[in-house]
Structure formats: C-alpha cells, structure tokens
Amino acid sequence: MSEIIKKNLSEIIDLIKKKEIKSEELANLYIDKVNKSKKLNSYITTCFEHTIQQSKEFDKKPNLNSLLPGVPLAVKDLFCTNGFKTTAGSKMLENFIPQYESTVTENLWKEGAILLGKLNCDEYAMGSSNETSYFGNVINPIAKDTVPGGSSGGSASALAADLTPATIGTDTGGSIRQPASFTGTVGLKPTYGLCSRWGIVAFASSLDQAGPMTKSVKDCSIMLEAMAGFDNKDSTSIEKKKENYSKNLKTNIKGLKIGIPKEYRVENMPKEIDELWNKGKSILKDLGADIIDISLPHTKYALPTYYIVAPAEASSNLARYDGVKYGYRSSKGNDLIEMYENTRSEGFGDEVKRRILIGTYVLSSGYYDAYYLKAQKVRQLIKKDFDENFGKVDAILTPSTPSSAFKIGEKTNDPISMYLNDIFTVPVNLAGLPAISVPAGLDKKGYPLGLQLIGKTLDEQNILNVAYAFEKNCNFKNELKNWWL
Amino acid sequence: MSKDKFDYFIKGEKNKYEVIIGLEVHAQVSSNSKLFSGSATKFGAEPNSQVSLIDSAFPGMLPVINKECINQAIRTGLGLNAKINNNSVFDRKNYFYADLPQGYQISQYKNPIVGEGKVLLDMPYGSKEIGIERLHLEQDAGKSIHDMDPSSTYVDLNRSGIALMEIVSKPDLRSPEEVNAYIKKLRTIMRYLGTCDGNMQEGSLRADVNVSVRQVGDKNFGTRCEIKNVNSIKFMQLAIEYEANRQVELLDEGKKIEQETRLFDTKKNETRSMRSKEDAHDYRYFPDPDLLPLKIEQKLIDDLKKTLPELPDNKKERFMNDYGLNSYEANVLVSEKEISNYYEEVAKLSDKKLAATWMMGDLFAMLNDKGLNISKSPISAKNFAELIQSIKSGEISGRIAKEVFELMVESGDNPKKIIESKGMKQQSDPKELEKIINEILTKNKDKVDQYKSGKEKLFGFFVGQVMKQSSGKANPQLTNEILKKLLKG
Amino acid sequence: MSIDKDKIKHISKLARISIDSKKSDSLAKDLTSIFKFIEQLNELNTDKVEPLSSILNTPLRSREDQINDGKIRDKILENSPKKNEEFFVVPKVIE
Ligand SMILES: [Mg+2]
Ligand SMILES: [Zn+2]
C-alpha cells in the first residue's frame, strides 16, 4: 500500500504542486484502497468514473493556485451532489439523485477538489455511533468491534483509514467532533452561519453546521478556508469576508486565556479522560497560555434542551419526506393519508421515527410551552453562560467526549446512554459557537481520545491556532493496524 | 334592495338569532416572484412550470424572503389604518397535504407583520366600522386536482410558495350584505395600493368564513364553524346563509354546534364537514429556524407611507366636498381607482354633477354591456367631457346626446365632430323655430281648434310634430315657449 | 410525563407515521425515559428568561423581487415515485 495516502492533506497538496504526483495517480491510489476496505462500510456510494475523468481533466490543465488542486475527496452523504445519489443514510432517499450541488461541496470543487464518493452516516444524521444508517453500521478502523462515532461516522472512519485525504461532515450536536475524537482525527464545527446550509439534508436547522474533518489542524484550516463563505441562498449565512485560515495559522499562543469549565468534570468519567484534560492544560500552560477556572452553570441542561430543540426542528424538517416529490413511497395504503403513514413508517428507521415523535410531541398543542418554549429559554441561559465567560477567556478547553469509542451494539438499546455521548459537544451547538476536537492521547485500550477547544463567535482562527500549537506539542500518534485489509 | 335599517336575523322555530361572521381573507400579494423563491407568480401557466426546488421542498432547500412582499404587506397595513409591527416572526404551520410540499406552511403566528386596523363600510343604514385583527404574510399551497383521473389526485405546485396576505377581521360582520361590502372595500383598498389585483376568478382573493349564531340579546359568541377557501362573494353569501340556518336549526332542536372546518359545495349550495381536515387542528406552530426575525425600520414604514396613493375614503370625502356629489355617487365613483381617475378628468373639463349622472348611467351601462373595464372605454374622458359640456350648454338636447353617445361608442370620435357632421346641433334660433311651428299649425288647423276649445292634451302632439320636423333637434324649452305663444294668439 | 400507547397513537397520527402495535410498547418505554431525562429542565426557574429566537443577531436579509427560477418541470418531477408529464400523482384525495 502506498505511503502517499497516509500523508496529511497539506503534504499531498505539496506533492501535487511540486508535480511529484498527478491527480489521476492519487485518485487511483484512493480508489484502490477504498475497493479493498469494504469491510469498514464507510462509503455508501462511489463515483470512480467521475473521479478519474475529473482528475484527468485536472492534470491536463492543472490550476495549482487553488486550495485543493486535484485532490480527490469523499463527503458525508448528507451533502447533495449533482447527479450523484444522496441518501442521508436513509431508505427514504435510497435512490434520490439531486440535480443540484450543495454550496459547501460546490466551494470545494471550485477549489480544485474532486468527488470520490459519499460517506456513510447515521440516518438523517441522527445518532452518535453510525449504527442508525439504513446502509449498515460503519466500523472504526481503530478496532473491528468498535463504532466510529456519529453521525459523521463514515467520514471519520474513511479519513482514519486513509480512504480520503480529508472530508467534511455536519455537526448538529457533536456529529463532527465526537467521531473525530473516536478515530484520532481532527474535526471542527464552525460558528453557526459560517458555512452555508444550502443543499445539505437538514436535521435541525438552528443547530446544523458543516465542517472539516482532517488528519491535522493545518489540513483543517485549509478545508475550512475552502468550504466556508457567505451564501445569499441561506438566510442564516453570515455576511463576511473569506479568511485565510491556513496562511494565518500560528503556534504562538502566549498570553492567551484558556478557560477550564468545572461542570465538564462529570460523574463516572473515566480517569484517563481527566488525566488527558490535565495533560492538555499543562501543554497549553507550557506554551505560555493562562489557564483559568471558569463556570458554565447550565451545562447539565444542555443535553435535555438539545433533545427538545433538535427533534422539534427535525419533526418539521422531515415532514417533506412524504412519498410525493422524491424518495421512497410505500405501495400499501388506500388513500393519501395511508400512503403517507406507510411511506414514513417503512422509509424511516427507528431512531428517526423516535425523534420525529419526540419533536411532534414537544410542539403539540398543550405541550409547546412546557417543552419547546422552556427549551428555548434554557438555550438562552446556556448561551449567556458562554457570553459571560468569553469576556474573561479567549477559548475554553474541555474533553471532546466522556468516553473513547464503544463497542458496536453496546448502547443501541439504551437511547439515553447513547445521547449522553454528546454531553460535551452539544452546548456549543446550542450557543452557535465554533469548536474543534483535536486528538490528545490514547486510553488503556489504545483507543484515541480528543480534547475540545471552544471559541468565540467567528473566532475560528484562534481555536485553530491553539489546536495547532497543542498538536505540535502533544505527539499524538494513531496506531492503526490495517486489520481490515 | 336597499334598506335603511339593519334587519338580518334568522328566526328559528323558537328563537330569533343574530349571525356573527369573521373573515380570514387570503389576498395574493402582487409581486413578480414568490415569497421565498425566484419562481414566477403568473396566473394560468403550464402545470408545474413555475416551480423551483425550493417551492417543491427538495432536501436542503432554504427560503430567502422577497423584499417587495414585505413592502406590499406594509402598504396594505397602512391602507387598513393598521399598526405595522417593527418586529415580526415567521413560523412554521405543520400539517400534511398533497399540495403542501414542505409538510409545513411558512406563515406568521404570534407576531404578525401588521397588527390591528379598521375598514369603514358604507351600508344603507349608515357607515359601519369593521375591525381588523391582524395581517400576516404566508405561503400559498399548490393545487390538488381531483377530477382528471378517477383513482388519483394530480398536484400542480405553481401556486406553491406564492405570497399571500392573510387579513383577519374581528367578528364584526353581521350579514351576507356586510360581507359583500367588506370584501369589496378590501379589494378596492388593495387595488388602489396595487398590493393585490383582487381577481377572484383567478383565486387572488379567497376567504375562510367563520360563522356562528347567537340568540338576539346574547352577549357571548356561539361555537363557530370555519368554511374554508370560498372564492366568490356570491358563494360567501350563500355559504353564510346556509351555515347560519343550519346552526339555528341545530340550536333550536337543543343540539350543540361542533367546532369544525367545513367546505362549501358550490353545486348543492350547502356546507359540509371537511374529511381531509379532520385532525388538522394541531398545527404545531414554531418559529422557522431557517429564517431570522423580521425587523422593519420605522424609516421604511415612513417612506412607504409617503408614496401611498390617496385612498378611497379620503377620495370620497374630497369628491363630496369638491364636486358636490352625494355620498352614494361618491361611493360609486371611488370604487375603483380607474373610475375615479376617469371621473376626475371629466369633472375638470365639464359640469361635475351632470358628469357623475351620465357616467353612472349611460357610460357604466355601456361598459357593463360590452364587458369592458373603464380603462378600455371606447369613449375617452376628454371626449366624454365634451359631450357633457355640449349638453350643459344646450348645444344638444339630452335625447340627441344619447344618439351622439352611441355614435361615439361606435366610432371613438369626438362629439363635436359627430354633431357637426350629422348636423345634430339643437335648433335654438327662435325665428327658425317659429317658421316650423307656423307651418305645422297651418297644416293641422282642426287640431288647433280642438286645442283652443279645451283639449289641452293636444299640446304634446304639436311638440312631437315639431321634433319630427326638426329631426329631434329643436330646443325643447324654446319650442314650448313659442308653441304656447302661437297657440294663444 | 409518562408516554402511553394512546399518546403514541395520537402523535404518530399527527406525524403521519404508522406504528406497529408490537413496537408501540417499547417505544412508549423509550419515550417515557427520554421525557424523564428532558424534564430535568423543570428544575430551572425560567420565568424571567426571554426565549432564544435566533443565535445570530443580524436582521433577516431579503432579496430583490426578480424571477430567476422555475421552468424546470422535468427536473422537479424527475425523482417523483409517481408522476405523469405534467403532474405529481398521489392517491385520490376526498375532501
Ligand atoms: Mg384559516
Ligand atoms: Zn392562511
């Protein structure tokens, strides 16, 4: 197996720029490995003919000034790709071929990237282990009985297994950062509104954000730079100039104030995670940062709030899947209503149905105030917690997840314990803030663990810098055994 | 038809009832493109040809609001003397229907763009104020076609996403006549403003009609039924009559009214319970997370206010003051902006009162006959004014004027030209007239004798003869005078 | 809040999802535990808190009133499970 595809995105870009490898050669290396890695089940769709044809075209007239020159990339199957199946991990969209391209993927192609395929994910991004996908669960390359996390589990697995040099996911409650943590990769959820949501299958509109998943912080800055940007087709897109995250990346974090929220030290958290967190603090301290204890008192209410807001929005967002315009339609039923009921019953999986029902309930007559309105109020409190502390600190350091990758099937019968996986990531979505998960170490089993850096609104550059400095001094090394080949 | 006292009550077997009506009017906003997408809004296009990925709710599609629709709602609000809310919110109203592709309608629930206002009605029994509860912006749904296939319903999404203003009245209406006047008044105001074309045949103006009844003297409202989507004033009136009588019958039998959504069957002229909306009452409204709260700067409201045209109520007052019209005339002449413009043009060049009479009589009859809008009138305002002036100055008689009018309709010519070329000028030269009259009296000596011996009715005969002789051009007043004088002699 | 089979029936009707009566019990159990979890929020007094309406504090952007979309009927109908040349086709609706 070629050593080239083990490299980071930035190194691969250098090789292309130095003309040491052609786009087509590179594409073939990935295609070869993807073909040999079916066991991981990280891809739902491949489009290799397209990849080769595009890479040939790139090689004929290479634009080496673009950010991602001739780089083949696979993306989460939640991004609509023009002419290529987009399933959202659901039977409902098993055969859905959009005739439009999401803004974010369009941005990548404009920077020279080439679509390699569509990556598995939890159905409609609802899950934390990639076990709710209609196309089967994804395996974490770390160990064959572990989940890669979710919902961007296919993305994390493919990235860690060198089946794509970088990728993009979406993060509604931790769906980029938790799988990044589980697979020893870097994942960033941008400020809400930094990346356009246009053309991304919606889960919960006020929380969804697309973001990069990469092998290094530098890669992450390149990908973010390529995908982000104002889009007038999305009313929640922030109007601002593009930033050069990769060019401005620096390791000097002297004098930065890093907050440590005491509420993130939760009961029953493995000791290793606490230790890792301490290791993170001391590394940053050694680099000249001030470590400051802070309090985010409403942290514990973030997850219950999330499990009202996200299902409520999802119940409405997923109403369009009714068997009329596109997607699955049940052949059973005598009238329109029965057609709807059977289509949605057969087309959606259990977790999706569960969340639609929760969402329907919390919005229904007589319960709106008690649940949905209450949650929007608590969401205000959670946001205030962050706002107040960001007067005092420049970034916040927490663990990314309360555990390392768990076993396949371990939590599937206990929704609450599954939901608790996102306990550290969810507050950030509720507050609309940027956060990055960086690999920080391995637990006893040798499974990776990540630390999370939370930044102020639109302060992506700052958390990238801190993560970059941390990465340089952490010496994390993922130990993959390529057992699936 | 007109009555000077309000008298719409329904007598049941036992009791006398009053009818309470509130209207939710859906008025299509005049705009080129839809509320949240760039598709066209033209009526009558090929099925599904004015549909974007947004209107058909493809995965990942997002709404972006049309500025003009916001402005139109503000203009309409101002026209209804209503409060414009500086902060409003778009909500999702969730329900499933074949022609609702998103599975929700983007609408406004708790915080509409326009708050309370009022509309003034001129009823024969006096003027009546109807309260406006609110006006909000929302998306229209598509169209389900049930009669093209025996086993299927066809769905056309051309209307899907078109901007509507839902104008909700207070339950202030008490009779089908008031509903008629209210809808017409709303339509007039919106047409003046250019915010809705008011075309009911094309579905630009529809209403959900809420009807309840209560015993005369009762203070509390009864249970109401909502009759969905009625698209003509006549149907609204018929539906109200049917529904009110149905409710009265039930109450008189001691039964209860069930709050429900009903449908007006235009073939049977009756309302019936709507099966498809049975469980649609729980709409699970919540703020649309794809949109941000709508903020309207006071400056925008002020700027729009400055550009508003003169509205019918003000214009009516001015017509009465400046042109000496009575309330009825003024009402008719301001009912459409084009009519009022026409009238003003005519009135400036001719006798104001006579112009009003002729417009409301002959001109309207002719237009009505030909099915023409006043803007397409074959007689221009300038020519019409000339005709009025010719009558006023005595150049032609009223009778001749009718002939000239007909000729103007046919040719589009200027009345002067017609009068000249056809020699239709009134004979007002006393000498000429005396000559004609003398001839007639000589010819009819026997009748002159009979007249003189007391048969005065014969006077009319002589006038007729003069008119015949002069081809109708003899000045009637002068003819009378001369005849009387000569018959005396 | 405990969720029983009747509630499941009511909300699944609203959500237009038919639920197998066999699955209804376990679903009721799951939802009950999820709502118990959610109801931790009741510990908080939020009487004086404004609900968060948007995490962005920018005003809603609007677009010009221009026709620049539509006329893509084939594209719109392409993915439909049942259609003819002009329309989406659904089971007969009785109003
Ligand atoms: Mg209504
Ligand atoms: Zn409405």
Both B258 and B192 in a single domain? yes
d(CA B401, CA B319): 25
Q: Which residues crowd ion ligand 1, with CB under 5 Å? A: B 24, 208
Record: contact B64-A93, CB cut-off 8 A: no
Find where tokens 């503000």 sit.
Answer: B74
Q: Is the confidence at residue A321, as pLDDT, over 70?
A: yes
- For B398, the domain range is 310-422
Element (H, E) at A214: strand A209-214
SS (H, E, C) A263-313: HHCCCCCCHHHHHHHHHHHHHHHHCCCEEEEECCCCHHHHHHHHHHHHHHH
User: Which chain C residues touch B89 with a CB distance below 8 Å?
Assistant: 53
Q: Is the confidence at residue B214, as pLDDT, over 90?
A: yes
For residue A261, count CB atoms less than 10 angstroms from its CB and return exposed for 0-12, middle for 13-18, buried for 19 or more.
Answer: buried
The pLDDT value recorded for residue C57 is: 85
Instruction: Please tell me the distance between residue B203's alpha carbon and the centre of ligand 2 in angstroms.
Output: 14
Q: Residue A434 gets which letter from DSSP?
A: -
User: Which chain A residues touch C88 with a CB distance below 8 Å?
Assistant: 324-325
* C-beta of residue B112 within 8 angstroms of C-beta of residue B85: yes
The pLDDT value recorded for residue B398 is: 84
Average pLDDT over residues A238-264: 97
Q: Is the confidence at residue A230, as pLDDT, over 70?
A: yes
Q: Which two tokens stand for residue A74?
A: 């696979």
Asked whether residue A48 is domain-assigned, the answer is yes
d(CA A65, CA A76): 26
- Do the strands B225-230 and B261-265 form a parallel or antiparallel pair, or are they unpaired? parallel
pLDDT digits (tens, 9 = 90+) for B58-95: 999 999 999 999 999 999 999 999 999 999 999 999 99
**DSSP-assigned states of every residue in B199-210:** -TTTTSEEEEEE
- For A294, the domain range is 12-485
User: Which chain A residues touch C27 with a CB distance below 8 Å?
Assistant: 354, 357
**Residue C53 in contact with partner chain B when CB distance is under 8 A:** yes
Q: Smallest Cβ distance to B60: which of A201, A204, A312?
A: A201
d(CA B188, CA B321): 21
Ramachandran sector of residue B43 (left: φ over 0; alpha: ψ -120 to 50; beta: rest): beta
Q: What is the amino acid identity at position A284? A: L
Element (H, E) at A167: strand A167-171
Phi/psi for C29 (5° steps) reads -65, -50
User: Given 3-state DSSP classes, what are the helix, strand and coil percentages for chain B, each rounded to the nearest 5?
Assistant: 40, 20, 40
**Residue C67 in contact with partner chain A when CB distance is under 8 A:** no
Residue whose C-alpha is closest to residue A296's, from A424, A463, A464: A424
Both B162 and B32 in a single domain? yes
Q: What is the CATH number of the domain that holds A471?
A: 3.90.1300.10
Q: Residue C44 gets which letter from DSSP?
A: S
Q: Residue A475 gets which letter from DSSP?
A: -
pLDDT digits (tens, 9 = 90+) for A118-172: 999 999 999 999 999 999 999 999 999 999 999 999 999 999 999 999 999 999 9
The pLDDT value recorded for residue A449 is: 96
Asked whether residue B2 is domain-assigned, the answer is no
Among B280, B304, B328, the domain boundary falls at B304
Average pLDDT over residues A278-290: 97
Q: Which two tokens stand for residue A259?
A: 């907050």
pLDDT: which is higher, B422 or B334: B334
Q: What is the amino acid identity at position A35? A: N
The pLDDT value recorded for residue B2 is: 53
> Average model confidence (pLDDT) for chain A?
97
**DSSP-assigned states of every residue in B357-384:** HHIIIIIHHHHHHHT--GGG-SS-HHHH
What was the ipTM of the complex prediction? 0.97
Asked whether residue A408 is domain-assigned, the answer is yes
**Residue B146 in contact with partner chain A when CB distance is under 8 A:** no
Structural domain count of chain B:
3
- For C33, the domain range is 5-43
The torsion of the CA quartet B437, B438, B444, B447, rounded to 10 degrees, works out to 70
d(CA A301, CA A71): 42
* C-beta of residue B108 within 8 angstroms of C-beta of residue B88: yes
Q: Is the confidence at residue B279, as pLDDT, over 80?
A: no
Apex B278 CA angle, B272 and B96, nearest 5: 125
**DSSP-assigned states of every residue in A98-142:** -SS--HHHHHHHHTT-EEEEEE--SGGG--SSS-S-TT-----TT
Asked whether residue A223 is domain-assigned, the answer is yes
Both B342 and B390 in a single domain? yes
* C-beta of residue A199 within 8 angstroms of C-beta of residue A76: no
The pLDDT value recorded for residue B423 is: 79
**Residue C14 in contact with partner chain A when CB distance is under 8 A:** yes
Helix, strand counts (H, E) of chain A:
15, 11
Structural domain count of chain A:
1
Q: On the CB side of A224, how many CA atoms lie within 13 Å of its CA?
A: 34
Q: Smallest Cβ distance to B103: which of A200, A235, A322?
A: A322
* C-beta of residue A357 within 8 angstroms of C-beta of residue A345: no
d(CA B295, CA C56): 13
Both B379 and B463 in a single domain? no
3-class DSSP state of A449: strand
**DSSP-assigned states of every residue in B104-152:** EEEE--SS-SB--EEEEEEETTEEEEEEEEEEEEEE---EEE-SSSSSE
Residue B399 pLDDT class (50, 70, 90 cuts): confident
Q: Is the confidence at residue B280, as pLDDT, over 70?
A: no
Ligand nearest to the CA of B261: 1
d(CA B293, CA B88): 6
Both B418 and B285 in a single domain? no
Apex A313 CA angle, B98 and A75, nearest 5: 95
3-class DSSP state of A331: coil
Q: What is the amino acid identity at position B215? A: Q
**Residue A193 in contact with partner chain C when CB distance is under 8 A:** yes
Cα Rg for chain C, rounded, in angstroms? 23
Both B179 and B220 in a single domain? yes
Asked whether residue B298 is domain-assigned, the answer is yes
Q: Which two tokens stand for residue C92?
A: 């007969």
Find where tokens 């000559």 sit.
Answer: B435
Asked whether residue C60 is domain-assigned, the answer is no
Q: Which of A128, A151, A216, A400 is catalytic?
A: A151
CA of C10 vs chain A CAs: smallest distance (Å): 9
Among B254, B272, B304, the domain boundary falls at B304
Both B275 and B296 in a single domain? yes
Record: contact C95-B146, CB cut-off 8 A: yes
Q: Which of A175, A246, A315, A403 is catalytic?
A: A175
**Residue C21 in contact with partner chain A when CB distance is under 8 A:** no
**Residue A307 in contact with partner chain C when CB distance is under 8 A:** yes
d(CA B15, CA B19): 13
**Residue B295 in contact with partner chain A when CB distance is under 8 A:** no
Both B188 and B72 in a single domain? yes
d(CA A359, CA A356): 5
Record: contact B290-A236, CB cut-off 8 A: yes
Record: contact C69-B38, CB cut-off 8 A: yes
Both B254 and B349 in a single domain? no
Structural domain count of chain C:
1
Asked whether residue A4 is domain-assigned, the answer is no
Record: contact C76-B56, CB cut-off 8 A: yes
For residue B376, count CB atoms less than 10 angstroms from its CB and return exposed for 0-12, middle for 13-18, buried for 19 or more.
Answer: exposed
Q: Smallest Cβ distance to B96: which of A233, A340, A363?
A: A340
Q: What is the amino acid identity at position B195? A: T
d(CA B447, CA A448): 129
Apex B372 CA angle, B371 and B376, nearest 5: 165
Instruction: Please tell me the distance between residue B100's alpha carbon and the centre of ligand 2 in angstroms.
Output: 13
pLDDT: which is higher, B485 or A381: A381
Q: Which two tokens stand for residue B235?
A: 């149907």
Produce one character per residue of B277-297: b if its CB has 16 or more CB atoms within 10 Å, e if not: beeeebbbbbbbbbbbbbebe
Instruction: Please tell me the distance between residue A328's alpha carbon and the centre of ligand 2 in angstroms.
Output: 30
Q: Smallest Cβ distance to A205: which of B59, B281, B290?
A: B290
Asked whether residue C73 is domain-assigned, the answer is no
Phi/psi for A136 (5° steps) reads 90, 160
A345 part of the active site: no
CA of B43 vs chain A CAs: smallest distance (Å): 23
Element (H, E) at A416: helix A415-419
**Residue C74 in contact with partner chain B when CB distance is under 8 A:** no
The pLDDT value recorded for residue A25 is: 98
Asked whether residue C66 is domain-assigned, the answer is no
* C-beta of residue A70 within 8 angstroms of C-beta of residue A62: yes
Asked whether residue A5 is domain-assigned, the answer is no
Residue B1 pLDDT class (50, 70, 90 cuts): very low
pLDDT digits (tens, 9 = 90+) for A104-119: 999 999 999 999 999 9
* C-beta of residue B271 within 8 angstroms of C-beta of residue B264: yes
* For B49, nearest residue in chain C (alpha carbons): C71
Contacts of A398 (CB under 8 A, 6+ apart): A260, A261, A264, A277, A424, A451, A452, A454
Residue A151: asked if its preceding bond is cis (omega within 30°), the reply is yes
Segments of chain C with pLDDT less than 50: none
Tell me the CA distances in angstroms from A355 to A120, A129, A179, B290, C26, one per residue in order: 20, 16, 21, 19, 14
Distance of CA A375 to the CA centre of its chain: 24
Both B156 and B224 in a single domain? yes
